[in-house]
Amino acid sequence: MSHSVESELREPLVLGDKTLHQITEDACAPLERKPNTLWWAAFFVALTCLGVGFSATAYQIATGIGTWGLNKTVGWAFDITNFVFWVGIGHAGTLISAVLFLFRQKWRTSINRSAEAMTIFAVICAAIFPLIHMGRPWLAFWTAPYPNFRGPLWVNFRSPLLWDVFAISTYFTISAVFWYIGLVPDLAAARDRAKSKIRKTIYSILSLGWNGSARVWSRYETAYMLFAGLATPLVVSVHTIVSMDFATSVIPGWHTTIFPPYFVIGAIFSGFAMVMTLLIIMRKVVNFEEYITLNHLENMAKVILVTGSIVGLAYGTEFFVAWYSGSPYEGFTFINRATGPFAWAYWIMVSCNVITPQLMWFKKLRRNVVVLFILSIFVNIGMWFERFVIVVTSLHRDYLPSSWAYYTPTLIEALTFLGTFGLFFTCFLLFCRALPMLAQGEIKGVLKTGRRKHHDAGHGHAEPRKAARVELEKEVAHV
Amino acid sequence: MSRLACRLRILTMCLFNRRGLNELRWRFGLQPLHSWNESPFKGGLLDKWLDSMGGKSRLLVGVFTDEDHLLEATQAVRKAGFDIHDVYTPYAVHGMDDAMGLRRSRLTWVCFFAGLFAGCFGAFMQYYTNAIDWPINVGGKNPWELHAYVPVIFEMTVLIAGLTTMVALFARSRLFPGKKAQLIVPGITDDKFAIALSHGSANFDAERARALFARFHAERVLDLGGLS
């Protein structure tokens, strides 16, 4: 029975003593009302950024990637930085939906839908950069191993860059499938409430004729568990493989065994920060404060604290190993990071990623929405700089001092990056209008958490209830 | 329409619904049946199949508003020997599988074998392309180097296992775009729960079922009659 496994000491996950019907109402409300001025304003800004980014991308594809600020020494810079940044952000969604599901963290139900949406949009943004970096993006399909008339010349499966193609496309596909499967019951709820014909038709098609059958629910739960089981190692694999783009090279500062776990933790760290930024705005704008409660934010703050501390440990370990290995090139790279021309970037990274999250040890700050919002922005900035530091500072002073150089992004690169933010927020704002943002089918299932004490107040304690059940069973047998 | 096509159509219709069956009876000069209960297929394989296709047989439906009442009622009707057609809920109610006596889904096996196949396929694909068909010499390394092939084997496993599981879930549950949802009562995706009992078995005792539903605080009880 559902209630026998719930401790009576649990805090309610949903505030405001909601009924099932109210949850449906609240979850569908943003889809059914007209968007307010704030939404339009945000959408306009996002669309403008997208337009600017689109123009910049079109220009550099037409002209060539010589429009970037790269030079002989720094051959990877903004594009790979942004790629790793966006992929990292994309990690929180699947972590929340899959890993927390396997750990039975029921608080995930209020935030998983938007986090998964965020994942998908972030991965799209990430994929744009290597695509442009190819120089001839219209030949991107050459990365697929298909029989061709060029030999057939196959792709080189021993290259980590190709592993990335497989990892990112698998991650995108599985995340999208996971997201859609979760959406089906909620789309059915939206369908059954829809007034206009167009809306009803669209939701009908998307919800696949879902009718709430318990036989289907049983299979659905099994499939959901399988997806969580598949997606959990997938999350870990994706950033591991991204880190191997660097770690399998022989560049000092990249060639370290710590990279895979360090990147995965960093990804979770930045992903949670971005989820927090978005949810703090969303819960206010669409009035979801009773669903995305302070407890949710506090839990996320704890994850940020833990992962932030591990990231700090990784920075320290890198320095230690550079010294302890006795390799002069490693040693130089790290001293150069902290004191060289890019020291400003390094110290922004350290202060945002290591120092600010430590404030989360204080409960008062963990439950202060303004502090959390500022913190999450800081972490976003810090994690972008982490990638920048790893990519650029390891390259800009190589073995040959005569080719040492400094790197400055061009306007085109900056605008492309801005454009991905435009794309991300345009997609997210449209998602808020078109699909149920709350996984109501899951929230309804955890509604009773922490509310049992209320309900049983009249019936007394467990023993009399058991007696009542025995009596009931007798009566049923009699009927 | 040719004669053959016409016959085929009637045959298909007769397999799928009562109207088709009656059309066939009319052709052979027999009286049309007025209810499914008179049909020779009643309770047979076809009937069961129609049931599983979502065709409406006669159902007694208890509508509930609380998860706990629903669970207890499901356990009780099952214990009392009723044939549970299905239970409908707005969310996955924990413990419902046991209450209904559903067996464990076999999707896990689908996922496992799809993954196994995909892993082997991934390994073979890399072996064939990079070691047999066109071995590329990269730094004099062994063309078949399993370590380097692990990431792609893993990604292929996850991708194909995931997609196959999704397709299997939708196929087995007969969910597809364009399917018209048959809701047992309005509000089933909102806040209503329902137990549907088949009138199928000969000793179906409607009064007893109603009493059981009432005992567990059913909001109302409906008799959805006749195959339509």
The tens digit of pLDDT for each residue in A321-339 reads 999 999 999 999 999 999 9
Domain ranges of chain A: 19-446
Q: Which residues contact A472 (CB under 8 A, 6 or more apart)?
A: B72, B215
- List of chain A residues whose C-beta atoms are within 8 Å of the C-beta of residue B123: none
Largest CA distance in chain B: 84
Task: Decide if B88 and A221 are in contact by the 8 Å CB cutoff.
Answer: no
DSSP-derived secondary structure letter, B183: -
Task: Decide if B90 and A441 are in contact by the 8 Å CB cutoff.
Answer: yes
Could you give the angle at which helices A462-478 and B206-215 cross, rounded to 10 degrees? 170
| Pairwise pLDDT comparison (B45 vs A58), residue with the higher score | A58
Helices and strands (H, E) in chain A, number of each type? 20, 0
Q: Which residues contact B37 (CB under 8 A, 6 or more apart)?
A: B58
pLDDT in tens, A420-431: 999 999 999 999
Residue from the list B94, B136, B165 with its beta carbon closest to the beta carbon of A227: B165
Using the Cβ of A449 and the Cβ atoms of chain B, whether some distance falls under 8 Å is answered with: no
Residue from the list B68, B71, B181 with its beta carbon closest to the beta carbon of A210: B181
Average the pLDDT over A55-60 and give the result.
94
DSSP-derived secondary structure letter, B35: S
Q: What CA–CA distance (Å, rounded) separates A356 from A385?
A: 15
Of A5-14, A338-347, A357-366, B118-127, minimum mean pLDDT range:
A5-14
pLDDT in tens, B52-64: 554 446 788 899 9
User: Distance of CA B43 to CAs B17, B21, B100, B202, B221, Å?
Assistant: 14, 15, 21, 9, 24
- List of chain B residues whose C-beta atoms are within 8 Å of the C-beta of residue A234: 155, 158
- List of chain A residues whose C-beta atoms are within 8 Å of the C-beta of residue B97: 214, 218
The pLDDT of residue A377 is 95
Is A432's pLDDT higher than 70? yes
pLDDT above 70: percentage of residues in chain B: 73
The pLDDT of residue A393 is 92
SS3 state of residue B195: strand
Q: How far A24 CA sits from the closest chain B CA (Å)?
A: 6
Task: Decide if A2 and B71 are in contact by the 8 Å CB cutoff.
Answer: yes
Residue from the list A145, A217, A442 with its beta carbon closest to the beta carbon of B129: A145
- List of chain A residues whose C-beta atoms are within 8 Å of the C-beta of residue B211: 479
- H helix intervals, chain B: 3-16, 18-27, 45-52, 67-79, 96-100, 107-127, 146-172, 206-215
- List of chain B residues whose C-beta atoms are within 8 Å of the C-beta of residue A205: 177-178
pLDDT in tens, B152-183: 999 999 999 999 999 999 999 888 888 888 88
The pLDDT of residue B127 is 92
Please say whether the beta carbons of A405 and A71 come within 8 A: yes
The pLDDT of residue A65 is 86
Using the Cβ of A445 and the Cβ atoms of chain B, whether some distance falls under 8 Å is answered with: yes
By C-alpha distance, the chain B residue nearest A165 is B152
| Pairwise pLDDT comparison (B80 vs A412), residue with the higher score | A412
pLDDT above 70: percentage of residues in chain A: 92
Mean per-residue pLDDT over chain A, rounded: 88
Cross-strand pairs, B59: B198, B224
Q: How far A351 CA sits from the closest chain B CA (Å)?
A: 34
pLDDT in tens, B196-227: 888 766 667 888 888 888 888 888 888 876 44
Could you give the angle at which helices A294-324 and A369-388 cross, rounded to 10 degrees? 30
- List of chain B residues whose C-beta atoms are within 8 Å of the C-beta of residue A217: 89, 91-93, 96
pLDDT in tens, A382-397: 999 999 999 999 999 9
∠ Cα B34 B36 B41 (to 5°):
130
Largest CA distance in chain A: 96
Q: What CA–CA distance (Å, rounded) separates B177 from A205?
A: 5
Inter-chain CB pairs, A–B, below 8 Å: 231
By C-alpha distance, the chain A residue nearest B99 is A1
What's the ipTM? 0.88
The residue among A162, A168, A216, A454 with the most chain B CBs within 10 A of its CB, best to mutate, is A216
Using the Cβ of A470 and the Cβ atoms of chain B, whether some distance falls under 8 Å is answered with: no
Average the pLDDT over A233-255 and give the result.
92
A residues 179..238 contacting B (CB < 8 A) = 181, 184-185, 188-189, 191-193, 204-223, 226-227, 230-231, 233-234, 237
Using the Cβ of A241 and the Cβ atoms of chain B, whether some distance falls under 8 Å is answered with: yes
Pick the CATH number of A19-446 from 3.40.309.10, 3.40.190.10, 1.20.1630.10, 1.10.600.10: 1.20.1630.10
Question: Tokens for A250?
Answer: 């022989």
By C-alpha distance, the chain A residue nearest B165 is A223
Average the pLDDT over A13-29 and give the result.
84
pLDDT in tens, B76-118: 888 888 888 889 999 988 888 888 888 888 999 999 999 999 9
A residues 270..309 contacting B (CB < 8 A) = none
Task: Decide if B162 and A206 are in contact by the 8 Å CB cutoff.
Answer: no
pLDDT in tens, B12-51: 665 555 555 666 666 666 665 655 555 555 555 555 555 5
The residue among A150, A476, A478 with the most chain B CBs within 10 A of its CB, best to mutate, is A476
Please say whether the beta carbons of A398 and A73 come within 8 A: yes
The pLDDT of residue A416 is 94
Q: Which residues contact A325 (CB under 8 A, 6 or more apart)?
A: none
The pLDDT of residue A457 is 43
